[in-house]
Chain A
Amino acid sequence: MAELRCHAVVLRVRSLGEADKMVTLLTREVGIVTAVARGSRKTKSKFSALVEPLTLGRFLLHQGRTLYTFIQGERIKSYAKLNSDLERLAYAQYFCELCERTLLEVRPADAMFMLLLTALEALEQDKDPARVARCFEISLLDELGIRPALEGCRSCGSTSGSYRFDPTEGILLCATCPHPVESYPVSAPTVATTKRLLEFGFHKLSVCVIPKAVGQEIHRISMDMLTHSLGVTNLKSLDFLLKTGFI
């Protein structure tokens, strides 16, 4: 019997049949895994609290032909505190959806796993959830190997003046150099803040001030990079954040 012992965060839960749940996990060992928790919608099920979204746990799964099935589990931490704040919950689920949509291969996902946990911890503690989100987005690009190149104009090498960002290549170009139609202007503070986020990640986030306009530009850069490089579009949690005015 093939078994998988893993550390995982529950990303998404869907109802399945009468009393089961289909659970999407981000595992440290093999990346994204979908597993069935049989009977977990019943009040007496040992899995009902374990397979709630935003729960970190140790799980033992049985590997079937197409799906895994939960055998045992132990909760390490639940980020249930986020439930009381709709904005923080929406951001947490946005991070989960980003992980789910960008991790496509079956491979160890240690860095991504740690990034998500760090972001969830920060979301519980940081006063500004939008700042945590910008840091997560930029760090995610780095982890996925599509880090934007922000060391000056890629065409002429200039390191001063006004820039445009080309999301198809992930590079900066001078306003005076030839640029593709997809490119758009980015402000100097946006470039500086993004570089800082790439360098320090969550380490010095609490002292990093991100004005709203800069945050919006960083968000645009991240999403455009994900769309052009990995085809990520139509994120429901992002639509929710936009509709509710949290972004």
Chain B
Amino acid sequence: MFYPESIANLIESFQKLPGVGPKTAQRLAFFVLTLPREEVVQMARAMVNAKDKTRYCRICGNFTDSEVCTVCADKRRDSSVICVVQDARDVMALERMREFKGLYHVLGGAISPIDGIGPDQLRMRELLERLKKGRTQEVILATNPTVEGEATAFYVARIVKPLGIRVTRLAHGLPVGGDLEYADEVTLSRALEGRREL
């Protein structure tokens, strides 16, 4: 490369980000050079701060900057319902809905034999311990509607049901605003299976 060492290092660092190739990394690096110094310092501090302060919630495994996340710390939430999700980002997606008032449990992934990910690599044991200790009445399985997500949901259901806790799964069906004509057969058949009386 013909760049000064400092710029070459910056480009190389940006290339470590997901989905960023050499061209994009160059563009980002040159954009950073055009920013005022304070903004660059602020950006760098935000990254370091997030890395230093963010950790997993002791109870649910969600991201937090204290020992327990805001959801678990909120006494107004219904602790009898736990929604099991694959990823902390799924908690954010469900929270945007503002309708769910229960608690969460983040598994940290999904069972995937082809990638060598089994139940032991996920937060399954923590979920079981939490269920045995608490007064949970319902577990909602909100894993992704993919092969891995489905397999994980079936696995969790199999280990939770013997505890006498109600296990439910998020409904599958047509997206709001979608056109029936363009829906695929799998989605349509699932939507038909899960139809409700009006």
**Residues on A facing B (Cβ under 8 Å):** 12-13, 16-18, 43-44, 46, 48-50, 52-54, 75, 78, 80, 83-86, 89-90, 93-94, 96-97, 236-237, 239-241, 243-244
Contact of A52 with B146 in the complex, beta carbons under 8 Å: yes
**Quick one: which of B90-137 are within 8 Å of A by CB?**
111-118, 120
A49 touches B186 (CB 8 A): yes
Contact A89 B113 (CB under 8 A): yes
Asked whether B147 lies within 8 Å of A240 as measured between CB atoms, the reply is: no
Q: Does B182 lie at the interface of the complex (its beta carbon under 8 Å from any beta carbon of A)?
A: yes
> Could you say which residues of chain A place their CB within 8 Å of the CB of B186?
49, 52, 75, 78, 80
Q: Is B19 an interface residue (CB 8 A)?
A: yes
Instruction: From A12, A43, A83, A93, give the contact of B150 (CB < 8 A).
Output: A83
A44 adjacent to B178 (CB under 8 Å): yes
Cα distance, A75 to B183, chains bound together (Å): 12
Chain A nearest Cβ from B99, distance in angstroms:
18
Bound-state Cα–Cα, A86 to B187, Å: 23
Once the chains bind, are A96 and B154 in contact (CB under 8 Å)?
A: no
Least distance between B126 CB and chain A CB atoms (Å): 19
Q: Is B28 an interface residue (CB 8 A)?
A: no
21 interchain pairs (CB within 8 A)?
Answer: A12-B114, A13-B146, A48-B184, A49-B184, A49-B186, A49-B187, A50-B184, A52-B146, A78-B186, A83-B150, A83-B151, A83-B154, A86-B151, A89-B113, A93-B113, A94-B113, A236-B113, A236-B116, A237-B116, A239-B116, A240-B117
B38 on interface, CB distance cutoff 8 Å? no
Besides A93-B112, A96-B114, A236-B115, 9 new A-B residue pairs in contact (Cβ under 8 A), listed by A number: A49-B185, A52-B146, A83-B147, A89-B151, A90-B113, A236-B114, A240-B116, A241-B113, A243-B118
CA distance A92 to B154 in the complex (A): 16
A239: chain B residues at CB < 8 Å are: 116
Q: For residue B187, which residues in chain A have a CB less than 8 angstroms away from its CB?
A: 49
Query: B30 on the interface (CB 8 Å rule)?
Result: no
For B111, the chain A residues whose CB sits under 8 A away are 86
Bound together, the chains give a CA A222 to CA B111 distance in angstroms of 26
Identify which of B18, B147, B150 gathers the most chain A CB atoms within 10 Å of its CB: B147
Q: Which of A46, A80, A237 is in CB contact (< 8 Å) with B113?
A: A237
Q: Nearest-CB distance from B140 to chain A (Å)? A: 18
Known: A96-B114, A236-B115. A75 touches B151 (CB 8 A): no
Q: How many angstroms between the C-alpha atoms of A36 and B187 in the bound complex?
A: 21
* B19 pairs with A18, CB closer than 8 A: yes
Asked if B175 lies at the interface with its beta carbon under 8 angstroms from chain A, I say yes
Contacts of A83 in B (CB 8 A): 147, 150-151, 154
Chain A residues with CB under 8 A of B182 = 46
| A57 nearest CB across to chain B (Å) | 10
A83→B186 CA distance, assembly (Å): 14
B157: nearest residue on chain A (CB-CB)?
A84
Could you tell me if A237 and B155 are in contact, using CB atoms closer than 8 angstroms? no
Complex: A208 Cα to B86 Cα, angstroms: 40
Residues in chain B near residue A80, CB distance under 8 A: 147, 150, 186
CB pair A53–B147 under 8 Å, yes or no, is yes
Q: Determine the residue in chain B with the shortest Cβ distance to A54.
A: B147
Q: Tell whether A86 pairs with B155 under 8 Å between CB atoms, given A49-B184, A78-B186.
A: yes
Task: Write the nearest CB–CB distance from A190 to chain B, whole angstroms.
Answer: 26
List the B side residues contacting A43 at CB < 8 Å.
Answer: 175
Bound form: Cα–Cα A80–B185 in Å: 13
A93 to B110, CA, bound (A): 15
Partner among B116, B154, B178 whose Cβ is within 8 Å of the Cβ of A86: B154
Q: Shortest beta-carbon distance, B148 to chain A, in Å?
A: 8
- What's the least CB distance linking A80 to chain B, in Å? 7
